[in-house]
Amino acid sequence: MCTEYSTIFEKCQYFTINFILLTHSHDEDVRMTAQQLKNSILQLAVQGKLVPQDPNDEPASALLERVRTEKDQLIKEGKIKKEKPLPPITEDEIPFEIPESWEWVRLRSLGIFSGGKTPSMANHNFWNGGNIPWISSKDMKSKIISSSEMMITHAAAATMKLYDIGTMIMVVRSGILKRLLPLSFLATPATINQDLKALELYDISISDYLYYAIRAFEPYILFQLVKAVTTVDSLKFDEFQDLPIPLPPENEMKRIVEYLEQLLPHIDEYDKAEQKLTALNSIFPEQLKKSILQAAIQGKLVEQDPNDEPASELLERIKIEKEQLIKDGKIKKEKPLPPITEDEIPFEIPKNWEWVRLGDLLTANSGLSYKKENLDVKSDKMIRVLRGGNITDNGEMIFKVDDKFISNEFVNENLFLTAFTLITPAVSSIEQIGKIALLKQDYKDVVVGGFVLSLIPHYINDTLSSFLYYAFSTVYHRDSCRAITNKSGQAFYNLSREKLLQLFIPIPPLAEQQRIVERIEELLSYTLQ
């Protein structure tokens, strides 16, 4: 764990009054996520366990009485309508015990809920030159909101409710409700759209505490009170506004808010450090793999052994094998590839290694071409046709549920995939060009399609094929492949077979290849743990 991350966590542990003990954990190495830690701290706050109670505090019942008095005054002045009394909170609704000086209260007994709307977009007088904020879920990015992406005119605002500074607003209809309940306070008079609700509190002094109390119940709200529908999720608002909230005495409420605002910035720091660490952990295995493979093809992964037969001897055997394949009619004779010049060599390699063009190591065959209507023909033997998507980013060949199948009457048996063959996309997005998979067995009922190349070594050897697989997985080789592609349409690139065979890689002695393959597989096994 990085020092920054650890230090911030230790601060948070101190402020949460032996938090690990409260959660029944005795493992000193336990590390919670920032969100888990924040949720737990908020839970302590609304249970009356974050700050000590003071017997001299005026009880919460006195605060509630002032709230009722304010509500009655608004009714008397005709600013709000008198409604039926709310049902009492039952024992079954109470999720945990609270101190004696606290009170359970339904959320809507603390203020007036109302919703917004969208002024007519067709009325230019409502939008052109407007300077009054019209808040939508896009603007709900912080606790305090002072502006919005879209503004309306006074003419539009006259058709809506204009909310005062300090009004709490919340998102009640949005896909974001899958993971959080956005809450904010207005720092300027504003209107809201139909996906938001406003809560105008009878007593503004409880605003900050209520914000944190709702945050404490957020996991429950998201899990129990969000309704998933076809288009977008929405809050079960009737149930939400009847949610019982624990209310502390006014003085304790202030102490809770003060303590939370002292503590939560440390958790935010912890969250940033945690995100950095998570990002580092996510890219580290891939970056490490790239470094390992690059070291491998530069002769820096294992020590050279002067007793190894040099790579030139291996290349001579490969040359003889290739000539025999041509003589047997298994591959076509092609023009000799040009020698590799000093200017082309990208990095130094050990003395007993050799640079070699791919065409001197293997044959590149295009896959099966077929007419679309051929897929409609069924027979007793259907052949699976692999596409670029069958090659994973991890270099594996997989079968997929949407694979294509074609009757064997349309397939030459020479196209069946065999062990030690490597397959790579010939037509794909630029990001997928260069992906490679090594086949470890024969497949008598599988071929690749026309947009995939089969790379078949002239010299069949497990060690050589494995080394080629890792060499082709390097950034060096994938970048080389991308450099020789031609764009096809708007999204696809073609990897030329002829240009591919002219690419070159470094080849070590066969004995060193074996050591390299073993070392790569050993190191990569650690990165996956």
pLDDT the model gives residue 300: 94
Cα–Cα distance for residue pair 271/88, rounded to 1 Å? 40
Interval 121-132 mean pLDDT: 92
Question: How long a stretch of residues is the chain?
Answer: 529
Confidence of residue 282 (pLDDT cuts 50, 70, 90): low
- Strands (DSSP E) contained in 466-516 are 485-488, 492-495, 504-507
Please return the burial class of 317, using the count of CB atoms within 10 Å of its CB with bins 0-12, 13-18 and 19+.
middle
pLDDT value at 488 more than 90: no
Non-local (6+) Cβ contacts of 472 within 8 A are 422, 424, 434, 436, 455, 478, 505
Confidence of residue 8 (pLDDT cuts 50, 70, 90): very low
Interval 381-402 mean pLDDT: 93
Interval 335-359 mean pLDDT: 94
Element at 148 (helix H, strand E): none
Phi-psi label, residue 395: left if phi above 0, alpha if psi -120 to 50, beta otherwise: left
pLDDT the model gives residue 287: 81
pLDDT value at 82 more than 60: yes
CATH topology of domain 59-248: Adenine-n6-DNA-methyltransferase TaqI; Chain A, domain 2 (3.90.220)
Percentage, residues of the chain above pLDDT 70: 91
Greater confidence (427 vs 24) lies with 427
Nearest to 489 by CA among 429, 410, 435: 429
Residue range 46-62, pLDDT digits in tens: 999 999 999 999 999 99
Confidence of residue 37 (pLDDT cuts 50, 70, 90): confident
8 Å CB contact between 455 and 501 = no
| Lowest mean per-residue pLDDT among 26-40, 175-189, 389-403 | 26-40
Confidence of residue 423 (pLDDT cuts 50, 70, 90): very high
Write down the residue that tokens 């429950």 correspond to.
220
Interval 420-441 mean pLDDT: 94
8 Å CB contact between 494 and 486 = yes
Confidence of residue 33 (pLDDT cuts 50, 70, 90): confident
Please return the burial class of 29, using the count of CB atoms within 10 Å of its CB with bins 0-12, 13-18 and 19+.
exposed
Residue range 237-258, pLDDT digits in tens: 999 999 999 999 999 999 999 9
Between the alpha carbon of residue 375 and those of residues 93, 315, 370, 390, the distances in Å are 61, 42, 8, 18
pLDDT the model gives residue 527: 61
pLDDT value at 281 more than 60: yes
Same CATH fold assignment for domains 59-248 and 298-527: yes
Nearest to 163 by CA among 195, 183, 193, 186: 186
**DSSP state, 450?**
T
Residue range 361-389, pLDDT digits in tens: 999 999 999 999 999 999 999 999 999 99
Nearest to 388 by CA among 319, 436, 333, 352: 436
Nearest to 403 by CA among 415, 416, 391, 393: 391
Angle at the Cα of 111 from the Cα atoms of 107 and 114, rounded to 5 degrees: 100
Percentage, residues of the chain above pLDDT 90: 76
pLDDT value at 441 more than 80: yes
Q: Which amino acid is at 205?
A: S
pLDDT value at 123 more than 80: yes
pLDDT the model gives residue 528: 54
Q: Which two tokens stand for residue 13?
A: 């542990």
Interval 97-125 mean pLDDT: 94
Cα–Cα distance for residue pair 81/199, rounded to 1 Å? 15
Average pLDDT over the chain, rounded to an integer = 89
- Pick among 3.90.220.20, 3.40.50.920, 3.40.50.720, 3.40.50.300: CATH of 298-527: 3.90.220.20
3-class DSSP assignment, residue 391 = strand
What is the residue-wise DSSP string for 90-115?
PGGG--S---TT-EEEEGGGSEEEEE
CA 91 to chain centre: 41
pLDDT value at 26 more than 50: no
Cα–Cα distance for residue pair 226/235, rounded to 1 Å? 4
pLDDT the model gives residue 179: 84
pLDDT the model gives residue 384: 96
Residue range 165-203, pLDDT digits in tens: 999 999 999 888 888 899 999 999 999 999 999 999 999
Confidence of residue 420 (pLDDT cuts 50, 70, 90): very high
Non-local (6+) Cβ contacts of 177 within 8 A are 171, 222, 226, 233, 234, 235
| Domain boundary assignment for the chain | 59-248, 298-527
Nearest to 180 by CA among 120, 222, 134: 222
Confidence of residue 15 (pLDDT cuts 50, 70, 90): very low
Element at 355 (helix H, strand E): strand 354-357
